[in-house]
Structure 1
Amino acid sequence: MNGPLVQIDQVVVEYPGKGWRTPPFRALKGVSLAIEAGQTMGLVGESGSGKTTLGRAILGLAPVTGGAIRFDGRDISGLGKRGRRALSRDIQVVFQDPYTSLNPAMTVNDILTEPLLATGTARADADRRVRALLDEVHLPADAGSRLPREFSGGQRQRIAIARALSRDPKLIVCDEPVSALDLSTQARVLDLFAEIQQRTGVAYLFVTHDLSVVRHISHRVAVMYHGEIVEEGEADTMTTTPSSYYTQRLLLAAPVADPARQARRRRERQALDAAHAA
């Protein structure tokens, strides 16, 4: 493959206005971004910035009204349902809330075998694949016979990750996958994402509101504000010395466990706001 795995070129997403005279709402305003094979692009922004909409556009869940999204060199912007089903082998998703993204009435084995059986995999082969997936995400061998409610939040997210990995995708869109977890569980799940990437070569689009989260997993980071990318660069630079006011403010807004450091960050943020307003 020549070029990036995913090439997003001047993508526009619009939703109809609520009234007949209301103009459409433009959620993405000509966004361009590239995701390299085997790497992680962190996509950061506040609620309403458009970051989740971009992930949904890649997944075919948001209408692309302008520009193009190319995956492995192929334009996937206007694929129909049949094309999207075929593409699901290569593009998967891990959603934010592990409590609602898993069917509570199905065992873990049924949850994980469902996408395999739907594409013609024999039951014995699917069961073997599930055992391997549970081992990959560090869950016990007997997890397959249990229901999602029997697991903690972190374990449920591991099940969701296993489901995304079941068909060996090239890209996983991770939509705030650790924001519903406590800090210690977040760290373990992030380590798991990194371990899986190193072993399989899967690429991630990692959507989050927290710059401190993407610091630990991303190769590059893009920051969104009001449907546009305001800054993009290497993760080390973006999470330590960003150039734009908005990214600097996001960095200072990230919580830290030390009360003294948190107070210092608050003062620095107030000084940054004052300088920006002057």
Structure 2
Amino acid sequence: MSTTATPTPTPAPGNMLEVDGVVVEYAAKSRRGRPFRALHGVSLDIRPGETVGLVGESGSGKTTLGRAVLGLAPVAEGEIRYAGRAISRLSARERRALSAEIQVVFQDPYTSLNPAMTVGDILAEPLLVSGTSRAAAEERVSGLLDQVRLPADAAHRLPREFSGGQRQRVAIARALCRDPRLIVCDEPVSALDLSTQARVLELFVEIQERTGVAYLFITHDLSVVRCVSHRVAVMYGGRIVETGEAAAVTSGPRDPYTRRLMLAAPVPDPARQRERREQRRNLKSVGAE
């Protein structure tokens, strides 16, 4: 991918989010079946203002980890701590307060936006629910639209009137409504064409520079995490198999699975593409899986 997006300067010290030995299991589908273990003792941390890219193929467990951070997946073992507090031990009131600080941007912006509501109402809703006045909410909506580079009249239009990239900008604006400190980005550009991906990635970086928000950036594409991440964690089979600074992991990966991910990325030269395909098959045959 060709893009000018680059991660912001070195994040602040200390951890905002700590995932410590987390195991996620789902109940068996039948009475005699075994529970399905989606995560096997995963540990990860994110600092304030940092982007950690979480990369892996479909079924690797990366989305499950994002859901666990959001409290949407059952944690059987281990602990997730935010600002030093164990999320599982928070009261209902504390959890509601935490929901303002941890937000999410999903893969498909159209299905995550209410098609019957105008963009203005979509953005104002969480503000009004939290007690913000109508006038203050409308002012905030105007500022959010400007922040994600949408025209002011977008507030009066329905999601279906926008392109996929514009709808994802609306979804980003909604995540920013209550000034979160952490946003879980679950494949936020995978449904977009390459040129639109580049512009949206640039927007993520600009927002981080302006607000200091941290991202857990989930994707299957190493070229995407290279553009926006400070550090990268690679997942396979519900485990993290490699972590490190983004430049190191994406230019000289140590784990065979990470090398396979790199070789899976398409290149314009057909001969080089055939060579990469053969290298990927060789890695698989020596036990990457």
Residue in structure 2 matched with residue 140 of structure 1 by the alignment = 151
- Matched residue SS, 1:18: coil
8 A Cα contact 2:13 2:48, kept in partner: no
Per mean C-alpha deviation after superposition, the further-off stretch among 262-271 and 206-215 is: 262-271
TM-score normalised according to structure 2 size: 0.92
Cα gap change, 1:52/1:81 in structure 2, threshold over 3 Å: closer, same or farther? farther
CA distance in 2, matches of 1:156, 1:80: 34
Structure 1: which 5+ residue stretches go unaligned? none
CA distance in 2, matches of 1:78, 1:62: 15
Which of 39, 47, 67 is the matching residue for 1:36? Answer: 47
* 1:83 lines up with 2:112 in the alignment: no
CA distance in 2, matches of 1:223, 1:114: 36
Residue in structure 1 matched with residue 130 of structure 2 by the alignment = 119
TM-score normalised according to structure 1 size: 0.95
* 1:47 lines up with 2:49 in the alignment: no
Q: What displacement does 1:80 show?
A: 6.0
Which of 183, 198, 203 is the matching residue for 2:194? Answer: 183
CA distance in 1, matches of 2:54, 2:171: 20
8 A Cα contact 2:14 2:48, kept in partner: no
Residue in structure 2 matched with residue 163 of structure 1 by the alignment = 174
Residue in structure 2 matched with residue 3 of structure 1 by the alignment = 14
Per mean C-alpha deviation after superposition, the further-off stretch among 175-184 and 71-80 is: 71-80
Q: What displacement does 1:2 show?
A: 7.2
Cα gap change, 1:94/1:32 in structure 2, threshold over 3 Å: closer, same or farther? same
Could you list the per-position Cα deviations for residues 35-62 of structure 1 after superposition, in whole angstroms to 9, with x for gaps in the alignment? 1110100001111111000000010000
Residue in structure 1 matched with residue 240 of structure 2 by the alignment = 229
Residue in structure 2 matched with residue 256 of structure 1 by the alignment = 267
Residue in structure 1 matched with residue 80 of structure 2 by the alignment = 69
Q: What displacement does 1:82 show?
A: 4.0
CA distance in 2, matches of 1:184, 1:57: 31
* 1:60 lines up with 2:68 in the alignment: no
Which of 89, 94, 99 is the matching residue for 2:110? Answer: 99
* Alignment root-mean-square deviation, CA: 1.6
Cα gap change, 1:79/1:56 in structure 2, threshold over 3 Å: closer, same or farther? farther
Cα gap change, 1:188/1:151 in structure 2, threshold over 3 Å: closer, same or farther? same
* 1:199 lines up with 2:210 in the alignment: yes
Could you list the per-position Cα deviations for residues 131-178 of structure 1 after superposition, in whole angstroms to 9, with x for gaps in the alignment? 000000000111000000000000000000000001110000000000
Which of 240, 253, 256 is the matching residue for 1:242? Answer: 253
Could you list the per-position Cα deviations for residues 48-89 of structure 1 after superposition, in whole angstroms to 9, with x for gaps in the alignment? 111000000010000111110000111103546543322111
Could you list the per-position Cα deviations for residues 173-208 of structure 1 after superposition, in whole angstroms to 9, with x for gaps in the alignment? 000000111111111100100110011100000001
Could you list the per-position Cα deviations for residues 254-276 of structure 1 after superposition, in whole angstroms to 9, with x for gaps in the alignment? 22344344233223323434555
Cα gap change, 1:23/1:41 in structure 2, threshold over 3 Å: closer, same or farther? same
- Matched residue SS, 2:100: coil
